[in-house]
Amino acid sequence: MLYFLKRKICENSFKFDSIRDVDVYKWDPEELPKLSPSESRQWYFFGPRDRRYPTGARLNRATKQGYWKAKGIVHNIVCNSRKVGVIKTAVFYRGRARTGQLTDWEMQEYTLNEKELEGCTNVQDCYALYKLYKNKTGNVPGIIFQYNKH
Protein backbone atom coordinates (compact mmCIF):
# COMPACT_ATOMS: atom_id res chain seq x y z
CA MET A 1 0.00 0.00 0.00
CA LEU A 2 2.74 2.47 0.89
CA TYR A 3 4.61 1.63 -2.29
CA PHE A 4 1.75 1.73 -4.83
CA LEU A 5 -0.78 4.11 -3.30
CA LYS A 6 1.74 6.66 -2.07
CA ARG A 7 3.37 6.74 -5.50
CA LYS A 8 -0.02 7.09 -7.19
CA ILE A 9 -0.90 10.05 -4.97
CA CYS A 10 2.51 11.75 -5.01
CA GLU A 11 3.71 11.14 -8.57
CA ASN A 12 1.54 12.37 -11.44
CA SER A 13 3.43 10.16 -13.90
CA PHE A 14 3.15 6.90 -11.91
CA LYS A 15 1.60 4.11 -13.99
CA PHE A 16 1.23 0.49 -12.94
CA ASP A 17 -0.31 -1.76 -15.59
CA SER A 18 -1.79 -4.24 -13.10
CA ILE A 19 -3.83 -1.58 -11.26
CA ARG A 20 -6.10 0.60 -13.37
CA ASP A 21 -7.81 3.89 -12.54
CA VAL A 22 -11.54 3.21 -12.15
CA ASP A 23 -14.30 4.99 -10.25
CA VAL A 24 -15.42 1.74 -8.59
CA TYR A 25 -18.64 3.23 -7.21
CA LYS A 26 -19.97 3.83 -10.73
CA TRP A 27 -19.86 0.13 -11.67
CA ASP A 28 -21.72 -2.96 -10.54
CA PRO A 29 -19.27 -5.46 -9.03
CA GLU A 30 -19.80 -8.02 -11.82
CA GLU A 31 -18.53 -5.46 -14.33
CA LEU A 32 -15.34 -4.52 -12.47
CA PRO A 33 -13.28 -7.70 -13.07
CA LYS A 34 -13.52 -7.04 -16.84
CA LEU A 35 -11.87 -3.65 -16.23
CA SER A 36 -8.87 -5.25 -14.51
CA PRO A 37 -5.95 -6.97 -16.24
CA SER A 38 -5.78 -9.45 -13.34
CA GLU A 39 -6.92 -13.04 -13.84
CA SER A 40 -7.20 -13.72 -10.11
CA ARG A 41 -10.21 -13.74 -7.78
CA GLN A 42 -9.17 -10.40 -6.28
CA TRP A 43 -9.07 -7.25 -8.38
CA TYR A 44 -7.28 -4.00 -7.51
CA PHE A 45 -8.10 -0.47 -8.67
CA PHE A 46 -7.04 3.10 -7.99
CA GLY A 47 -10.01 5.41 -7.69
CA PRO A 48 -11.56 8.40 -5.97
CA ARG A 49 -11.52 8.25 -2.19
CA ASP A 50 -14.75 7.64 -0.28
CA ARG A 51 -14.79 10.70 1.95
CA ARG A 52 -16.89 13.71 2.76
CA TYR A 53 -16.27 16.67 0.52
CA PRO A 54 -16.05 20.23 1.92
CA THR A 55 -19.75 20.72 1.13
CA GLY A 56 -20.59 17.81 3.45
CA ALA A 57 -21.98 15.71 0.57
CA ARG A 58 -21.08 12.04 0.56
CA LEU A 59 -19.70 10.17 -2.42
CA ASN A 60 -22.57 8.51 -4.28
CA ARG A 61 -22.19 4.75 -3.90
CA ALA A 62 -25.24 3.82 -5.98
CA THR A 63 -24.78 1.81 -9.17
CA LYS A 64 -27.25 0.80 -11.88
CA GLN A 65 -28.22 -2.41 -10.07
CA GLY A 66 -27.58 -1.61 -6.40
CA TYR A 67 -25.33 0.17 -3.91
CA TRP A 68 -22.21 -0.21 -1.78
CA LYS A 69 -22.71 0.04 1.98
CA ALA A 70 -19.96 0.49 4.58
CA LYS A 71 -19.51 -2.54 6.83
CA GLY A 72 -17.92 -3.02 10.21
CA ILE A 73 -15.14 -1.11 11.80
CA VAL A 74 -12.20 0.71 10.29
CA HIS A 75 -8.90 -1.18 10.57
CA ASN A 76 -5.64 0.72 11.06
CA ILE A 77 -2.67 -0.07 8.83
CA VAL A 78 0.56 -0.01 10.81
CA CYS A 79 4.09 0.02 9.38
CA ASN A 80 7.17 0.14 11.62
CA SER A 81 5.00 0.93 14.68
CA ARG A 82 3.31 3.95 13.11
CA LYS A 83 -0.23 4.24 11.78
CA VAL A 84 0.04 4.95 8.04
CA GLY A 85 -3.53 4.49 6.87
CA VAL A 86 -6.86 2.74 7.24
CA ILE A 87 -8.90 -0.01 5.60
CA LYS A 88 -12.66 0.34 5.23
CA THR A 89 -14.85 -2.50 3.96
CA ALA A 90 -18.04 -2.11 1.92
CA VAL A 91 -20.56 -4.77 0.84
CA PHE A 92 -22.75 -4.69 -2.24
CA TYR A 93 -26.54 -4.80 -2.07
CA ARG A 94 -28.63 -5.50 -5.16
CA GLY A 95 -31.66 -3.22 -5.35
CA ARG A 96 -32.28 0.06 -3.56
CA ALA A 97 -31.55 1.21 -0.02
CA ARG A 98 -33.58 -0.43 2.77
CA THR A 99 -34.95 -3.12 0.44
CA GLY A 100 -31.71 -4.32 -1.19
CA GLN A 101 -30.47 -7.91 -1.06
CA LEU A 102 -26.97 -8.52 0.34
CA THR A 103 -24.58 -10.14 -2.17
CA ASP A 104 -21.22 -11.91 -1.78
CA TRP A 105 -19.34 -8.94 -3.27
CA GLU A 106 -17.08 -6.97 -0.93
CA MET A 107 -14.57 -4.23 -1.45
CA GLN A 108 -11.82 -2.87 0.77
CA GLU A 109 -10.77 0.77 0.51
CA TYR A 110 -7.16 1.49 1.52
CA THR A 111 -6.36 5.14 2.28
CA LEU A 112 -3.23 6.86 3.54
CA ASN A 113 -3.08 9.25 6.49
CA GLU A 114 -2.43 12.89 5.62
CA LYS A 115 0.86 12.74 7.57
CA GLU A 116 2.18 10.12 5.12
CA LEU A 117 1.78 12.63 2.30
CA GLU A 118 3.84 15.40 3.90
CA GLY A 119 6.75 16.29 1.67
CA CYS A 120 4.99 15.16 -1.49
CA THR A 121 4.63 17.65 -4.30
CA ASN A 122 1.78 17.52 -6.82
CA VAL A 123 -0.41 15.56 -4.39
CA GLN A 124 -3.54 13.94 -5.82
CA ASP A 125 -5.13 13.43 -2.40
CA CYS A 126 -8.43 12.02 -3.56
CA TYR A 127 -7.06 8.57 -4.46
CA ALA A 128 -7.55 5.27 -2.67
CA LEU A 129 -6.58 1.70 -3.50
CA TYR A 130 -9.53 -0.71 -3.77
CA LYS A 131 -9.55 -4.49 -3.52
CA LEU A 132 -12.66 -6.20 -4.89
CA TYR A 133 -13.51 -9.85 -4.13
CA LYS A 134 -16.36 -12.28 -3.57
CA ASN A 135 -16.65 -13.37 0.05
CA LYS A 136 -18.42 -16.69 0.49
CA THR A 137 -16.73 -17.68 3.75
CA GLY A 138 -17.36 -14.66 5.97
CA ASN A 139 -13.63 -13.99 6.21
CA VAL A 140 -12.13 -10.75 4.98
CA PRO A 141 -9.03 -11.43 2.83
CA GLY A 142 -5.98 -9.62 4.09
CA ILE A 143 -7.42 -9.01 7.56
CA ILE A 144 -7.20 -12.48 9.03
CA PHE A 145 -5.34 -12.44 12.29
CA GLN A 146 -3.60 -15.57 13.52
CA TYR A 147 -2.20 -16.43 16.90
CA ASN A 148 0.55 -19.04 16.91
CA LYS A 149 1.12 -20.66 20.27
CA HIS A 150 4.75 -21.67 20.83
Contact 120, 113 (CB under 8 A): no
Q: For the domain that residue 88 is a member of, what is the CATH number?
A: 2.170.150.80
Range with the lowest mean pLDDT among 32-41, 53-62, 106-115, 124-133?
53-62
Please write the tens of the pLDDT for every residue from 61-104: 889 999 999 888 899 999 888 899 999 999 999 999 889 999 99
Does 83 map to a domain? Answer: yes
Q: Which domain holds residue 107?
A: 2-134
Contact 112, 6 (CB under 8 A): yes
Does 44 map to a domain? Answer: yes
DSSP string computed for 63-77: -SSEEEEEEEEEEEE
Please write the tens of the pLDDT for every residue from 3-62: 788 878 787 666 777 889 899 988 999 999 999 988 888 999 988 875 555 555 556 688
Q: Whole-model pTM?
A: 0.79
Does 145 map to a domain? Answer: no
Does 139 map to a domain? Answer: no
Does 81 map to a domain? Answer: yes
**How many structural domains comprise the chain?**
1
The Cα 48–Cα 61 span in angstroms is 11
